[in-house]
Structure 1
């Protein structure tokens, strides 16, 4: 009977060690993807490439959340460059309230994921499951903010500046096209929900310490 107890104890230790090792590896991957998400979120926020002209547009130009760029006048050397207008810190410069709301929501989403990255330091001080749950809720809020921003943004396509390039209307892009930053933002919505789900799963699956009875039996 003693041999059976010892065998069970050693086998449990092996399974427990492997489980903890695999769990930590997945947590590290989750943390890396969270940091990558925060970087991509910032890129989507600052890039003015959400919608832009196509070959059918009235004139060249493209729009972001808070910034829009149009082709400037031709210079003496017969060249011209895009002139960009808009600053997130100068909220009144943003074209319309829909673009303002989308800018605020995407910026808030980026801020939540930056906070989530900072919270990774808490792994040194708090229980792993607690930190994962905190980050999971932050990621869910970030995903919701990004989703609302992507829905609200097309409501501002009836702005005169947008119409002058795209001949667009509310939720009708006209002669312009969706550009990569808008597509990236949509993809990030699903990524954020996946990361949040993974965080809650990891929190629920955290291995518990081996019962003290095993250590007592080994000593006996």
Structure 2
């Protein structure tokens, strides 16, 4: 099977796929922020939440429903910062995934990725990583929202966790963005083979 990638390009394709997978999985999982409410574990992502209070009309009390789900609408996301974070991180993950899939296809298709296209793909990965990194940086600005404060013993504020802690999904998303910026962008410069010059 012909490939349009150099040996470095093969490594680039693999690292790109791993970076995109880490960022996308971390972005989708609602374990960015961990806390508790009514003695039940609660976790938040940018657009999803696990465990939330509901009114039980039979018992005339508020109970915690222990299941995960996304917010009913975009406006339902607790803060403006988290809405921006959702969009910015989602676009960044989309870019990383697009480049990663193109890189994997380059392993099997000849003349798909030239030196120039490889460098352009690296630029897209750099941009995607920056967008995801920006989303991760914006996320703590939403810790002062009412939902988060209820989960963190009313002691959280912007960049202050209170009784909550950062979850594995936040680190996973950040690690994917960091590897895209530092590793993938550099490897992409050497990923494509020089195109053959055809005399016309």
- TM (normalized to structure 2)? 0.77
Provide, for residues 3-61 of structure 1, a one-character-per-residue CA deviation record: whole Å limited to 9, x for no partner: xxxxxxxxxxxxxxxxxxxx72221111112122222221011100001016xx76431
- Please report the RMSD computed on the Cα atoms of aligned residues, expressed in angstroms: 3.0
Paired position in structure 2 for 1:186: 174
Partner SS state of residue 157, structure 1:
helix
Query: Is the aligned partner of 1:67 residue 2:82?
Result: no
- Paired residues, number: 181
- Distance in 1 (CA, whole Å) between partners of 2:98 and 2:177 is 17
Q: Greater CA radius of gyration, 1 or 2?
A: 1
Query: Is the aligned partner of 1:152 residue 2:138?
Result: yes
Q: Which structure: greater helix fraction?
A: 1
- Distance in 2 (CA, whole Å) between partners of 1:68 and 1:127 is 40
Q: Which structure: greater strand fraction?
A: 2
Partner SS state of residue 53, structure 1:
strand
Flag structure 1 segments of 5+ consecutive residues without an equivalent.
1-22, 75-79, 210-220
Q: What's the CA shift for 1:124?
A: 3.3
Partner SS state of residue 144, structure 2:
coil
- TM (normalized to structure 1)? 0.71
Structure-to-structure mapping, 1:1-220, within 5 angstroms = 24-53=6-35, 59=39, 60-70=41-51, 82-87=66-71, 90-120=73-103, 121=105, 124-126=110-112, 128-166=114-152, 167=154, 168-193=156-181, 194-202=183-191
- Distance in 2 (CA, whole Å) between partners of 1:117 and 1:192 is 10
- Distance in 2 (CA, whole Å) between partners of 1:188 and 1:181 is 11
**Would the alpha carbon gap of residues 125 and 100 (structure 1) be closer, same or farther in structure 2, given more than 3 Å must change?**
same
Q: What's the CA shift for 1:103?
A: 0.8
Q: What's the CA shift for 1:163?
A: 0.1
- Distance in 2 (CA, whole Å) between partners of 1:70 and 1:34 is 34
Partner SS state of residue 40, structure 1:
helix
Partner SS state of residue 48, structure 1:
coil
Partner SS state of residue 174, structure 1:
coil
Q: What's the CA shift for 1:140?
A: 0.5
**Would the alpha carbon gap of residues 84 and 127 (structure 1) be closer, same or farther in structure 2, given more than 3 Å must change?**
closer
* Moved segments of 4+, more than 6 Å: none
**Would the alpha carbon gap of residues 53 and 162 (structure 1) be closer, same or farther in structure 2, given more than 3 Å must change?**
same
Contact 1:48 1:64 in 2 (8 A): yes
Provide, for residues 93-147 of structure 1, a one-character-per-residue CA deviation record: whole Å limited to 9, x for no partner: 2111111111111111111012213433466345520221121011000111011
- Distance in 1 (CA, whole Å) between partners of 2:166 and 2:45 is 11
